[in-house]
Structure 1
Amino acid sequence: MLSEGQLLALHVLANGIADVAFSLSLGALAAFTWKTLPAVYDRKLFLLIGLAALLMAAVQPVQLVVLTAGMTGAASFAELTPQFRDVLSTHAGWILLPQAIAAVATAAAALIPSPRRLRFTLIAASLFALSLFRSASGHAASDGNYSLRELAQWVHLAATGVWAGGVMVSARLLPSLRETQLQHANGERLSLQSATAIVFIVVSGIWNTWLGVDADIQGALHTRWALLLGIKLLFVLAALALGATNRRILQQPPTDQTMHQLSSTLRMEAVLMLAILLLSAWLGSVAPAA
């Protein structure tokens, strides 16, 4: 069986993959809402949402195995299997099942052909349900169900997905637009989308941190949790700096050169988003400072 360190690494990897897939789904959905990409990309966006949702569903069994191994200390998979039912009866265990169901529902809504508006509505409803269940797991669940901490976590999770996912999706698809005017217009809408999401991220992030350390900031300064949070904040600041650079580029007349600069900074920002999401998964696997 895997060692404690290997289980932690697998747990962080599984959570990181789920966070990235969830962000890509929300980013693609936001592209419809904010019209950051033209209708010609609808098929690609629906396909991206479907594949990302299937990946989220596939990660849930891995998370169950890691959770069961951590809870029971089983030394082999044969010892692990009988423990699944007991683990699924716990809050940390049962919350995985509705996440998997919501992910499969999202994938079905995205991949099964239907009228555009109906497909969009079903995807939005499924992702909303998925986000609620995801916000009810991890540290946020320590205050019980339907708590202010879970509400703050839901806002933070959704806003992060819109920001990070929107950047990653646009970094891949926006440069393929041939007209500079179209790139510029869609880039401006992406900038507004990101700025709106960042406001919610900052407010919910401060609230989450305050609750995470039980209002004891000084006592949290020398913990691993605080160290990881500090590293994550450095990446967030770097991403914000790139976002500000994008905004300055968009204030210039749209030319091939300025749109090439926009594409370059978007790609760098997308890499930072991946790092931020993986650090968030790691942070969620470490006990809160308090």
Structure 2
Amino acid sequence: MSHDPLWFAQVALAALADIAFAGTLGAVLMLGWLSKEKAFATISPARFGWARARRVGIGGALLLALANLVSLWLQAASMSGVPVMEAGSSVWTVLTQTHAGIGWAIALAGSLLLVLATASGAPFGAGRLTLAALGAIVAAAGKASVGHAADAGAFSVAEIIQTVHLLATGVWGGVVITGALAVLPALGTSLARAFLIRITGRMSTVAVVAVVLVIATGAFNAFRGLGGAAGVLQESVWGQVLIVKAVLVGTALIFGALNRWSALPRLKRTASTVDAHTVTGVMRVEAVLMIGVFVAASVLSHSVPGFAFAG
């Protein structure tokens, strides 16, 4: 693994893209739920939450598209061995003649579909949700095709599982990050309390499904990355970062479980301001941990996998 400035830039940009992707997915789900609640209506107590979700959605999608564009430029610089500012002439070659370039193009196409899905201020109906889902799948598939899973070949089981892993992690992290840091605080008034309770309940249900997929696909990726040699966990940077990621995921699960099995049921019973703040506060901690997960995942994707050291 190289620790030059280009490597750090690629890791930072990948983490930013992952967070933007998650935020967009979380916002799309929030917009879908809030649309059913008619939160877009001018007189709705939840309108502020709707507006925040919409801003996060379009902002996240645009940021994801920009990150994919810049990532392609950095990839061209890395593959051609030229300074970043001189990589422009290599972008087209990388884009059209390399597997990585094609993968980034697919990811960019997916992000543009997400931009289209989130651009309108109209209520989020089935058509826009379908477009957003398609964009998310395309974006995740594109990213999976340029990661370690691509070593198994195009359209391989490893790539498919990695695509599911990216989608599931994006949904889990997205509902937590978008909810805790943007939407739920906007539903903090007593008039919007019923909206907050219903939305957090839906968030919890979706997060449970996403977590199951994250654990299953993550276990497969970890086993594949280790190459069957547990010693790689301590002997390689990749293995050490994997441990950090696992600890972050496990800690996030603890806070998520605390909300699902304790704070949220209490909020449903009392509908009190204190309990609403508790749910949001616990979720904020989970959101910070998920941001850490995305950073760790970016380091893993730009590090030599453990199986390369397994002999």
TM-score (norm 1): 0.90
1:260 to 269, 277, 292: 277
Q: Kindly report which structure 2 residues correspond to 1:176-191, keeping only aligned pairs within 5 A, or say none.
A: 176-177=186-187, 178-179=189-190, 180-191=193-204
- The answer for the alignment partner of 2:116 in structure 1 is 108
Greater mean alpha carbon deviation, residues 200-209 or residues 90-99 = 90-99
The two structures, once aligned, show a CA RMSD in angstroms of 2.2
- The answer for the alignment partner of 1:60 in structure 2 is 68
Greater mean alpha carbon deviation, residues 249-258 or residues 196-205 = 249-258
Structure 1 residue identity aligned to 2:289: L
Whether the 8 Å CA contact 2:54–2:121 is kept in 1: the answer is no
The offset of 1:46, in angstroms, is 3.5
Q: Is residue 229 from structure 1 mapped to residue 238 from structure 2 by the alignment? A: no
- The answer for the alignment partner of 1:137 in structure 2 is 146
Q: Is residue 90 from structure 1 mapped to residue 95 from structure 2 by the alignment? A: no
The offset of 1:36, in angstroms, is 11
Q: Kindly report which structure 2 residues correspond to 1:112-261, keeping only aligned pairs within 5 A, or say none.
A: 112=120, 116-117=124-125, 118-171=127-180, 172-177=182-187, 178-179=189-190, 180-247=193-260, 248-252=262-266, 253-254=269-270, 255-261=272-278
Offset from partner CA, 1:246-280 (integer Å, 9 cap, x none): 12112222322211111111111111111111111
Greater mean alpha carbon deviation, residues 31-40 or residues 267-276 = 31-40
Greater mean alpha carbon deviation, residues 275-284 or residues 168-177 = 168-177
Structure 1 residue identity aligned to 2:185: P
Whether the 8 Å CA contact 2:52–2:183 is kept in 1: the answer is no
Question: SS where residue 54 of structure 1 aligns?
Answer: helix
The offset of 1:128, in angstroms, is 2.2
How many residues matched?
287
Amino-acid identity (%):
28
Whether the 8 Å CA contact 1:36–1:186 is kept in 2: the answer is no
The offset of 1:170, in angstroms, is 1.0
Q: 1:53 to 1:97 in 2, by over 3 A?
A: same
Q: 1:38 to 1:226 in 2, by over 3 A?
A: farther
Question: SS where residue 155 of structure 2 aligns?
Answer: coil
Structure 1 residue identity aligned to 2:94: V
The offset of 1:50, in angstroms, is 1.9
The offset of 1:86, in angstroms, is 2.9
The offset of 1:123, in angstroms, is 2.1
Q: Kindly report which structure 2 residues correspond to 1:26-41, keeping only aligned pairs within 5 A, or say none.
A: 26-32=25-31, 38-40=37-39, 41=49
Q: Distance in 2 between matches of 1:25 and 1:185?
A: 20
The offset of 1:105, in angstroms, is 2.6
Offset from partner CA, 1:223-249 (integer Å, 9 cap, x none): 100100101111111111111221211
Q: 1:9 to 1:37 in 2, by over 3 A?
A: farther
Whether the 8 Å CA contact 2:136–2:167 is kept in 1: the answer is no
The offset of 1:26, in angstroms, is 1.2
Q: Distance in 1 between matches of 2:196 and 2:84?
A: 54
Q: Which blocks of at least 5 consecutive residues in structure 1 are unaligned?
A: none
Whether the 8 Å CA contact 1:175–1:183 is kept in 2: the answer is no
Offset from partner CA, 1:136-175 (integer Å, 9 cap, x none): 2211111111111011101111110110000011102113
Whether the 8 Å CA contact 1:47–1:111 is kept in 2: the answer is no
Offset from partner CA, 1:56-81 (integer Å, 9 cap, x none): 11112321222122222214633x33
Question: SS where residue 217 of structure 1 aligns?
Answer: coil
Q: 1:272 to 1:10 in 2, by over 3 A?
A: same
Greater mean alpha carbon deviation, residues 154-163 or residues 31-40 = 31-40
- The answer for the alignment partner of 1:283 in structure 2 is 300
Question: SS where residue 221 of structure 1 aligns?
Answer: helix
The offset of 1:198, in angstroms, is 0.6
